[in-house]
């Protein structure tokens, strides 16, 4: 199997690639969770995950 490059199934947990910084600061909630706008292009919301 090794010479052919074959591997068995691994059922272990996936590796954790992103570890948050304990001193990291989160962006403030400028909309106070109000995701509605009175007109188009007044409020822009994005997700950094």
Q: pLDDT digits over 6-49, tens only?
A: 988 888 777 888 888 888 888 788 778 777 888 988 888 787 76
φ, ψ (nearest 5 deg) of residue 22: -65, -25
pLDDT at 33: 79
CA distance 36 to 44: 10
Residue 29: alpha-carbon gap to chain centroid = 17
Instruction: Report whether 45 contacts 33 (CB < 8 A).
Output: no
Model confidence, pTM: 0.30
pLDDT at 45: 79
Bigger pLDDT: 5 vs 36: 5
């Amino acid at each position: 199997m090794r010479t052919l490059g074959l591997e068995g199934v691994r059922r272990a947990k996936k590796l954790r690639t992103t570890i948050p910084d304990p001193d990291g600061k989160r962006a403030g909630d400028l909309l106070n969770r109000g995701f509605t706008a009175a007109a188009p292009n007044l409020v822009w919301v994005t997700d950094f995950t």
